[in-house]
């Protein structure tokens, strides 16, 4: 009897352990194809990516943050913050206090990155977890004294295959296990700048190469047995729009170069005046009808681009497709960085894995919403951020969500049922309370009797 009891309880314990799949930490791979404009998905063929989406989710437009440039938006994805809050406010920056410069080739100083905590750092603070990165902006920098446990120093000459090989190796054989990994690729941004997004022939070729890389990624994850348990997000930082030689704004025609320092040029110029700010502003504000000129304090609230020392006293924002130049010819046919309300500036997001629904399409989220969603998937406590977790609930299998049309349908349905019930009750009550005509007649007869009598 004693033996039976011991066997029963040991069996129960084993059973409990066997079911505790929750003790295995979830894993997430975040992939960015730089400059993947949202509507490329509608205008070109992506057989591999479409297969990925068919078994997962698609967000057709991701509203990114202003300015719609590479470093700022990649940092917003992994921090959930607007640029004024995470401090990477452009690809080229200058800090007036420390006199430090930042550019895409001079980005290793933690000073620029330490205003926020990216998700790979938070992930590693959890017990028994590590992070890995293949060239995502900032992952080769000591941010809050931490790099991912596994990372590659940025080099444009390293192939996609080599980046992916490292990531899959780290995801397969690391201790503590890699639970968050990120992978970055420079295309289709580079070709978008070179040809412009309206060059269908060249873009078709470039985007087919991207789709082949996605096919290779999925195939490799399947081959290594990583596919079923891994959550994969494929997204981007911004879109791309067509530029033209005929749409350039030459600052040299409006203002003497000796009166200001140009920190960043186009399509959002950051101007640090050397003389009186108002004097520089007055010369620039009438320079072109295709450019908005803002004093820092007048930058529209919707840009969330004001409250940071690295934002310069005057910014110029070119209209879509216009390029700000300094008296020289245009070098690129495509560009981004413009107003983040322009659909051409938006990227997309697709995701696949155990955390995501299958075959679900969603119209839009904000780029800052990706961070709280990733924290939820990984079971991490998010740092304060500008994202809204509920915006991504419909993408996730463990969340209850109803979208707007469904909600309207339910409300109308409930109202119809309530109205019908109310009508029925009123009709029934009326029937019960109206006296039977014969009984009234009889009463009258009864009343009349004594009179007759």
Residues serving a catalytic function are 70
Q: Which stretch binds Zn ion (CB under 5 A): 44-52, 235-243, 281-289, 340-348?
A: 235-243
Closest CA to 295 of 373, 305, 365: 305
Q: What is the Cα–Cα distance from 359 to 51, expressed in whole angstroms?
A: 10
Q: Which stretch binds Zn ion (CB under 5 A): 147-155, 184-192, 377-385, 440-448?
A: 184-192
CB nearer Zn ion, residue 218 or residue 240? 240
The answer to whether residue 83 forms part of the interface with Zn ion (CB under 5 A) is no
Q: How far is the CB of 46 from Zn ion (least distance, A)?
A: 19
Residue selected from 83, 84, 189, 369 as contacting Zn ion according to rule CB under 5 A: 189
As a whole number of Å, the end-to-end CA separation of the chain is 98
Q: Which is nearer to Zn ion, 70 or 122 (CB)?
A: 70
- What minimum distance in Å lies between the beta carbon of 190 and Zn ion? 9
- Residue span binding Zn ion (CB under 5 A) among the ranges 89-97, 189-197, 254-262, 410-418: 189-197
Task: Give the separation between CA 276 and CA 260, rounded to whole angstroms.
Answer: 10
The 190-229 contact track toward Zn ion, x by CB under 5 A, reads ----------------------------------------
CB of 68 to Zn ion, least distance (A): 9
State which residue has the least CB distance to Zn ion: 70
Q: What does the longest C-alpha to C-alpha distance in the chain come to?
A: 123
Task: Indicate the residue among 84 and 237 with the shorter CB distance to Zn ion.
Answer: 237
Q: Given candidates 64, 68, 70, 385, which one binds Zn ion under the rule CB under 5 A?
A: 70
User: Which residues inside 18-37 make contact with Zn ion, applying CB under 5 A?
Assistant: 34-35
Per residue, the 3-state secondary structure of the chain, as one string, reads: CHHHHHHHHHHHHHHHHHHCHHHCCCEEEEEEECCCCCCHHHHCCCHHHHHHHHCCEEEEEEECCCCCCHHHHHHHHHHCCCHHHHCCCCCCEEECCCCEEEECCECCCHHHHCCCCCHHHHHHHCCCCEEEEECCCCCCCCECCECCCEECCCCCCCCHHHHHHHHHHHHHCCCCCEEEEEEEECCCHHHHHHHCCCCHHHHHHHHHHHHHHHHHHHHHHHHCCCCCCEEEEEECCCCCEECCCCCEEEHHHCCCHHHEEEEECCCEEEEEECCCHHHHHHHHHCCCCCEEEEEHHHCCHHHCCCCCCCCCCEEEEECCCCEEECCCCCCCCEECCCCCCCHHHCCCEEEECCCECCCEEEEEEEHHHHHHHHHHHHCCCCCCCCCCHHHHHHHECCCCCCCHHHHHHHHHHHHHHHHHHHHHHHHHHHHHHCCCHHHHHHHHHHHHHHHHC
Under 8 Å between Cβ of 234 and 41: no
From residue 265 to residue 304, what is the string marking binding to Zn ion with x (rule CB under 5 A)? ----------------------------------------
237 lines the binding site for Zn ion (CB under 5 A): yes
Q: In angstroms, give the least distance from the CB of 240 to Zn ion.
A: 9
Q: Which residue's CB is nearer to Zn ion, number 35 or number 321? A: 35
Among the residue ranges 232-240, 275-283, 358-366, 386-394, the one whose residues contact Zn ion (CB under 5 A): 232-240
Handedness of CA 376, 396, 62, 133 (dihedral sign): positive
Q: Minimum Å distance from CB 131 to Zn ion? A: 22
Size of interface with Zn ion, in residues (CB under 5 A): 5
Q: What's the closest the beta carbon of residue 208 comes to Zn ion, in angstroms?
A: 20
Q: What is the dihedral of CA 337, 338, 340, 345, to 10 degrees?
A: -70
In angstroms, give the least distance from the CB of 223 to Zn ion: 30
Give, as ranges, the residues between 365 and 394 that touch Zn ion (CB under 5 A): none
Whichever of 70 and 139 has its CB closer to Zn ion, that residue is: 70
Which of 98-106, 157-165, 230-238, 364-372 is the region at the interface with Zn ion (rule: CB under 5 A)? 230-238
Task: State the minimum distance, in angstroms, from the CB of residue 71 to Zn ion.
Answer: 8
**CB closer to Zn ion, 150 vs 348:** 348
Is 107 or 237 the residue whose CB approaches Zn ion more closely?
A: 237
Q: Considering only residues 145 through 174, tell me which ones interact with Zn ion, judged by CB under 5 A.
A: none
Residue 77 or 280 with smaller CB distance to Zn ion: 77
Stretch that binds Zn ion, among 57-65, 169-177, 236-244, 416-424 (CB under 5 A): 236-244
107 binds Zn ion (CB under 5 A): no
Give, as ranges, the residues between 310 and 339 that touch Zn ion (CB under 5 A). Answer: none
Q: What are the residues binding Zn ion (CB under 5 A)?
A: 34-35, 70, 189, 237
């Amino acid at each position: 009897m004693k033996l039976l009891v011991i066997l029963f309880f040991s069996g129960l314990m084993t059973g409990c352990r066997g079911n505790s799949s929750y003790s295995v930490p979830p894993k997430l791979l975040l992939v960015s194809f730089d400059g993947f404009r949202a509507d490329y998905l509608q205008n070109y063929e992506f057989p591999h990516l479409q297969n990925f989406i068919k078994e997962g989710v698609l967000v057709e437009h991701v509203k990114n943050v202003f300015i719609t440039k590479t470093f700022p938006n990649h940092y917003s994805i992994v921090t959930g913050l607007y640029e004024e809050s995470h401090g990477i406010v452009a690809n080229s920056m200058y800090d007036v206090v420390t006199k430090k410069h930042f550019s895409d080739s001079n980005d290793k100083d933690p000073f620029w990155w330490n205003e926020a905590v990216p998700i790979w750092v938070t992930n590693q603070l959890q017990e028994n977890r590590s992070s890995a990165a293949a060239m995502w902006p900032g992952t080769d920098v000591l941010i809050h004294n931490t790099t991912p446990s596994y990372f590659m120093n940025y080099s444009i000459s390293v192939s996609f295959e080599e980046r992916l090989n490292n990531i899959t190796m780290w995801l397969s054989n690391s201790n503590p296990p890699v639970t968050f990994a990120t992978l970055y690729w420079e295309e289709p941004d580079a070709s978008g700048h070179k040809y412009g997004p309206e060059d269908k022939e060249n873009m078709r070729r470039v985007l087919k190469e991207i789709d082949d890389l996605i096919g290779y990624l999925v195939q490799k994850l399947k081959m290594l047995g990583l596919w079923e348990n891994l959550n994969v997000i494929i997204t981007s930082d911004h879109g791309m729009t067509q530029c033209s030689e005929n749409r350039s704004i030459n600052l040299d025609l409006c203002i003497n170069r000796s009166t200001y320092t140009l920190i960043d040029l186009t399509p959002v110029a950051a101007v640090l005046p050397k003389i009186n700010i108002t004097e520089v502003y007055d010369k620039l504000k009438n320079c072109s009808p295709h450019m908005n000129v803002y004093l820092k304090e007048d930058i529209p609230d919707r840009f969330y681009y004001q409250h940071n020392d690295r934002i310069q006293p005057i910014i110029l924002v070119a209209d879509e497709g216009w390029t700000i130049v300094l008296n020289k010819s245009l070098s690129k046919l495509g560009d981004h960085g413009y107003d983040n309300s322009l659909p051409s500036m938006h990227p997309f997001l697709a995701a696949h894995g155990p955390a995501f629904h299958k075959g679900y399409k969603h119209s839009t989220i904000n780029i800052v919403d990706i961070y709280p969603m990733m924290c939820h998937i990984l079971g991490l406590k998010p740092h304060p951020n500008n994202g809204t977790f509920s915006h991504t609930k419909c993408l996730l299998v463990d969340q209850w969500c109803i979208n707007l049309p469904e909600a309207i349908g339910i409300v109308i349905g409930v109202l119809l049922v309530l109205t019908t019930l109310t009508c029925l009750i009123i009709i029934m009550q009326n029937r019960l309370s109206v006296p039977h005509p014969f009984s009234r007649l009889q009463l009258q007869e009864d009343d009349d009797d004594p009179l007759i009598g």
